[in-house]
Structure 1
Amino acid sequence: MQTVKIGLLGCGTVGSGVARLLTEKVNEYARRSGYRLELSKILVRDRDRSRPAGIDPDLFTTDPAEILEDEEIQIIVEVMGGIDPAREYLLQAIGSGKHVVTANKALIARHGQELFEAASENEVSLYIEASVAGGLPIIQTLKRSLVANQLLSLHGIINGTTNYILSAMTDEGREFQEVLAEAQAKGYAEADPTDDIEGYDAVYKLAILSSLVFEQPIQLKQIHRVGISRIASQDIAYAKQFGYVIKLLAIAKQENGHFQARVSPTMIPVDHPLASVNGVYNAILIKGDAAGDIMFYGQGAGSMPTASAVVSDIINIATELENPPNTLMASNHLGDPVNLGPPDSVVNRYYVRVLTEDKSGVLGQIGTLLGREDISVHTLLQRKADPGNAELVFITHPVSDQKLRQAIAQIRQLETTQEIYSIIRVEDFVE
């Protein structure tokens, strides 16, 4: 039986999971794949640091050259995270004719085109399943199982931290800061949670997925991003009253002849399958022109779910070593970036919550300003707030982003407007 040697860059949460699977299941993987997968070396910063039991300490090295320049190592697995030196190491590995597996979403989102071009030029494989949604086999499905389809849309809950926070706020009526502190205490959120709560993590993942949906590269700056830090318990309560739940939703789709990609808090109907995805779980809903709707659900992060995706990529590469690299994996990351539609091409319904002075004529003023932008109101509530003020909540009929922004700017300038608390997209999933 042929042995395939593997070099592992990083041994943190995910890396230790990969090492554990490759060590504990070596015979099982050999039986399934026909190849013996041998973990040859593991790059770490500190050899003396305590590591999970079961990993041979002789495998550890602090010298990347021991892995990158070892001619017997055929597959490099990068789970160290960050941009540099990970990018430098992978380009060196690819240039040396080594196949690569990475779980690094930020690296692929920022430099995927460069890495895939290098892999294509050097005729090696670059697999990225673990870079998006951990244990959900979404990349391989989009590239292989759905290759006969034109992908029409993708809607995803792809960040477990924000989903945990919004789920707790919905189920328990608690405020954002309180639930965030709990998520940090449980290890679901980082000490600096900015990447998660402001949507950057989801944008990285959506950039990768969007390149598959649009069949062209997409740049991070092209993706509209809004985080969840301004979502209040009042918004959650109003959403329930209107028959919705709020999720941080990643969307890539073609609409009115234009492409759009965005990550933002979104109200979705309570009876939609994505509405029942709670806690740290992820879900992705794909629509193909032939296959229709397909939904993936599972753990989007963590040591073993992500390690599972990494090892699956390793096995796939090992079984294809005698064949030319699979160009399907690279095709959507090469070429010119996709052209997204202009601002007025994106049409949605919107929920808006405004604090105004409680005076006669205020509602009429706001209605007039909305009317000037051809915005009609679907649902309206007005409630007493603190003394002398009222809270005005309304959901619009479909309107372009541009027209809504213009109307909101005018409402904000009214003397009676105290604060515009929230502007949240409403997604009804109507074809």
Structure 2
Amino acid sequence: MNQTTEKNTNKTLAYLKRVIQYRLDSEYGNSTPIPPKAVTIEDSLLSTFISTHNLTETETIILLIALVPHISPNFFNTIISEYLPKGGEFPEFGGIKGKNHRGILPTGETVQFIIAGNDIEKRNALCNLFSEDHVFAKAGILYLDDVPKGEPVMSGRLIIETEFVQLLTTGTVLKPKMSSDFPAQRIETDLVWKDLILNKKTLQQIKEIETWLQYNDILLNDWNMKSRIKPGYRVMFHGPPGTGKTLTANLLGKYTQRDVYRIDLSLVVSKYIGETEKNLSKLFDKAKSKDWILFFDEADAIFGKRTNVRDAHDKYANQEVSYLLQRIEAHPGLVILASNFKSNIDTAFTRRFQSMIEFELPTSIERLALWKNNLPSKITVEKSMDLDELAKKYEITGANIVNVIQYACLKTISEDNKSILKSHILEGIKKEYQKEGKSLHL
């Protein structure tokens, strides 16, 4: 932490301390408290954040209450101990203990006390700052954790998202990592559009998605179409493995400056009733305020054709699908579902999508382009190897071709050959056929 950042942090903590002391003095002190002046910190991470989100003084205080345990673990304890020198409970202040954290973790009740004291009307008004319509929720900044059934909603822990902790303390944002709480993995590619070899019809449909990504905000906001058009864009990619579905999602993100997250449905779908909805809720809640592309690979796992309800498991499985559809339709960003076979997907689901894009097996012309694009430029191919003949003879996908080239190149390096041998390429093709249960006689 540099000197300027440290100075700004100390100034911010001093302000929050005065705010809390003012409340404590107002409720329990003997002297007449002096209201603290609003904090003014120019050219800081906090001031930039406050300006960007147009936060009021009350909202700024809430942000600081959520942030302070990540900066000064003993902050709340130190202040309260001044008013309770002999120790004891302070239920009005709220707060809970964590599993690892030894200090006080603030709750909604902590916010109510610090800002409104025992003023019932003001305390109730503060509940609105945690609604779905508030900037805290819309931007995914902070929220109140769920509480056990029957307990006050405002007793939920006040949680600021980790990325905003990083942003406000270091100026950088860490990308979320895949976990049970976030069942998605960020994917990216070094390839470019010219590496994606597809037929003209498929490329044109992909161009339509790119157009939506670039101009949807103008359509909704500048053209006032929010009330007429549903938010978000839903598309299904279907076709054999290795035909470019994942690469397309990557390239759409790369060329529109958006992160692409591939959802691991094995982490999402739970055998326990209600857990699948919970896992999906966490994902969409985090994604709704981001400009991400959500890529559900192997969507058959959850969007497969439904059977008649025979037992409770079938009933809840259908509920899970209905919930996912609901969240997808409400999501304001791009959602891509990928399947190897369109026929596996229930037609009731496919009608919900704006676009259905087929990724066909490449033609011989497209396979030739794939061979030429993916062979390394630093080494030649054996003269007897006719790429045009190779493309016509062997009907394999782009992913197969990349695997063959990798195999042949490694063989070339290990044997210290001066060129890539035809025999190694054919061996690689045979291996790809065998992986898919096909026979090939070279």
- TM range, smaller chain: under 0.3
TM (norm. structure 2) is 0.27
Larger radius of gyration: 2
- Normalized per residue, the structure richer in helix is 2
